[in-house]
Amino acid sequence: MKTLIYDRRIKKVIEENAFKVSGLLFLYQTRTGKTLMNLILKWRFISVLYGMFMKSKRSLKQIPVFIKHYNIDLKEIKNPLNTFKSFNDFFIRELKAGSRPVDHQPEHLISPADSRLFVFPIDQAVSFPVKGYWYHLDQLVKDKELAAAYEGGWCFIYRLAPSDYHRYNYIDSGSQEKVITLNGVLHSVNPIALKEVNNIMAKNYRELTLLKTENFGDVVHIEVGALFVGKIVQRFQSAYDFKRGEEKGWFEFGGSTVIQLFKKGTILPDSDILEQSQKGIEVLVKLNEKVGLKL
């Protein structure tokens, strides 16, 4: 299965460089695989064991294979390769200062992560090709009152592929409330799984933070876990005053997703992102780069 994404730097639609796709095709598109997938979801210890392996020295041999397959830019990485103690240690690697410069224009909405971005107006989801992504909003946030406050607003879905930098930032200065945990399973967030399983984002384990931002109003920020480990690490679990571009946390091994909800009349996505989303195509974006405008 080919996954098409739009590279806004070269203004072209390209094929995503997938990794171990055959395994996902087996798990989500065959009878035997679906049975195994159900066992993985039911028996959490399978994911725990896999996570333990990825945090062990035995996983170090995965690093050069991963780097070669994805053509990872080693010049961006803060610490030397020989300092990593496991594959997961490499997976949550930090970048050198300046690798993802923050757009400080207050009216510019910036991306919280390196990712593939898909946007749509919440009330017009039926007219967008959002199969797999969409859900009833109150199912996603588990709060009918909160969901109602975002009717008519925008939903931004940032899908992080395994090759992406897996640390994410605050999109503006402001303050946050206590992080809320929403329990669930750990499906893959790869497009293969999105196509086969309805409402994945509302089924997976996730953590929700209400961000009171200076320029974009109250923003619902949700981290979504994914297949196998998918661990979410928050730097601040309780109330906290943050700065634009400051690190909020990171995902441990496993593809992951950040979802952000904006109220009606607060922002407008960049035209190229909106155009591609209307076609069902995600757009490659980098951490801290402009993805929209304040209204």
Residue 69, number of CB atoms within 10 A of its CB: 14
Number of neighbouring beta carbons within 10 Å of residue 179 = 20
How far is the C-alpha of 98 from the C-alpha of 116, rounded, in Å? 21
DSSP state letters, 19-67: SSHHHHHHHHHSHHHHHHHHHHHH-HHHHHHHHHHHTSGGGGGHHHHHH
Q: How far apart are CA 140 and CA 184, in angstroms?
A: 11
For 286, the token pair is 């980098």
Q: How far apart are CA 111 and CA 114, in angstroms?
A: 8
Task: Please tell me the distance from the alpha carbon of residue 243 to that of residue 91, in angstroms, as a whole number.
Answer: 25
| Alpha carbons 66 and 261: distance in angstroms, whole number | 33
Give me the active site residues, please: 114, 256
**H or E, element range at 276:** helix 271-278
Residue 122 DSSP symbol:
G
